[in-house]
Amino acid sequence: MTTNSWIAIDAMGGDEGLAVMLAGVAEARRRFDGTHFFLVGDEAKIAEGLKAHPNLTANSEIVHAPEVIKGDEKPSTALRRAKITSMGVAIDLVKQGRAAAAVSSGNTGALMAMAKVSLRTMKGIDRPALAGLMPSLGPNDTVVLDLGANTECDARNLMQFAVMGAAYARTQLDLASPRVALLNIGTEDQKGTEEIRDAAQALRDATHLPLTFAGFIEGDKLSRGDVDVIVCDGFSGNIALKTAEGTARFVADLLRRAFSSSVRSKIGFLISRPATELLRHHLDPNNHNGAVFLGLNGLVVKSHGGANETGVANAIAVAAKSVRDDLARKIAEDLKYFEAHEPEGAVA
């Protein structure tokens, strides 16, 4: 962990309320003993909630913010209230340098807008991207970006996402040269839009970067584990993520229905319970929670709005690990190296 071990928590954001957020922070506190937390939100409510978590008292500080960003609030409206909301104040603590990262389960659009305006993008980055981890059949999870921050992207955006995604995989997954692929409608070189094809050519030429370009990947291979980083525009990425989450719920519900259909099925469930529990754990989005806005001058992590306390703790773990591994510095170094070696006019 760097010298700044404080993480700002938007304690009031998310669908499940303050109690779940504080329980998640308490779980994270047990995992990361040296980490401290700014708990941002209604001071009286947070103080009351902390009575159930005495282990947090010595490692946390309450920062009062009187208002909360609503789940359906427009980003433009949220920006005007940023200075008095728990989300906005949490991000501002990062801007001030008091916190090394901010974590929120609140409105994604508002969080993106506030983070971009407050922290600004890194030099060499046109647009920040939202990167998360998806479960796979490989030895590690797969980094996917962008998950919804940018609905339209040009070749240069996709190239920057690849550089940032590879840096993220090196820190979160401990990979020296992550395998990077572009999400496409086919694996042949001529498939896809002009932007995707141009980005692919630029990645093939970027042999100086600490990544291995693996070409194109189709949607049915997202979870195979054949690559470590999957790059796409935010429109496609968000649909892919929601489809994967929906499929996981479908499989879980289908198994539950099948195992409860008869006495024989119930006996079969008892016999196969260790395997089904492993499957349930692997498919539970709470166990892969925490998406990072990459490309900002500061770390901001988005937790799923419906995350339980384990999910919140995992999102905080993503923030803590990113701080410990100095993710922002590694991304900045990779971008500088990429630009220094990029052929002139390689990516428009």
Q: Which domains occur in the chain, in start order? A: 1-122+295-325 (3.40.718.10), 126-292 (3.40.718.10)
State the pLDDT at residue 300: 95
State the pLDDT at residue 327: 86
Which residues, listed in sequence order, are joined to residue 300 by a DSSP beta bridge? 102
Torsional sign, CA 86, 89, 91, 93: negative
Would you give the DSSP letter of residue 51?
Answer: G
> Under DSSP, is residue 95 helix (H, G, I), strand (E, B) or coil?
helix
Q: At which residue do the structure tokens 């779940």 appear? A: 20
Cis upstream peptide for 146 (omega within 30°): yes
**Range of weakest confidence among 130-134, 261-265, 321-325:** 261-265
Phi, psi of 311 (to 5 degrees): -60, -45
Are the beta carbons of 95 and 298 closer than 8 angstroms?
A: yes
- Written as six digits, the tokens of 255 are 């198994």
Would you give the DSSP letter of residue 132?
Answer: E
Residue range 97-137, pLDDT digits in tens = 999 999 999 888 899 999 999 999 988 788 899 998 888 88
Distances (CA, A) of 153 to 120, 135, 203, 215, 301: 19, 25, 16, 18, 22
List, as one string, the DSSP characters of 187-232: SSTT-S-HHHHHHHHHHHH-TTSSSEEEEEE-GGGTTS-S-SEEE-
pLDDT at 249 over 80: no
Distance CA 140, CA 227 (A): 10
Distance CA 10, CA 83 (A): 13
- Written as six digits, the tokens of 228 are 């470590």
Q: Which region holds residue 148: left if phi is over 0, alpha if psi is between -120 and 50, else beta? A: left
Distance CA 269, CA 21 (A): 33
In the predicted model, what is the mean pLDDT of residues 136-145? Answer: 89
Strand order in the sheet with 229-231: 60-64, 36-41, 6-10, 101-104, 299-302, 291-294, 129-134, 142-145, 229-231, 179-183, 212-217
pLDDT at 253 over 80: no
**pTM score of the predicted model:** 0.85
In 65-119, DSSP assigns E strands to 101-104
State the pLDDT at residue 312: 93
Phi, psi of 2 (to 5 degrees): -70, 175
Distance CA 16, CA 22 (A): 11
Band (275; pLDDT cuts 50, 70, 90) = low
In the predicted model, what is the mean pLDDT of residues 252-260? Answer: 73
- Looking from the CA of 103 toward its CB, the CA atoms found within 13 Å total 34
Distance CA 325, CA 214 (A): 25
List, as one string, the DSSP characters of 334-346: HHHHHHHHSPTTS
Would you give the DSSP letter of residue 176?
Answer: S
pLDDT at 65 over 90: yes
Are the beta carbons of 147 and 302 closer than 8 angstroms?
A: no
pLDDT at 265 over 60: yes
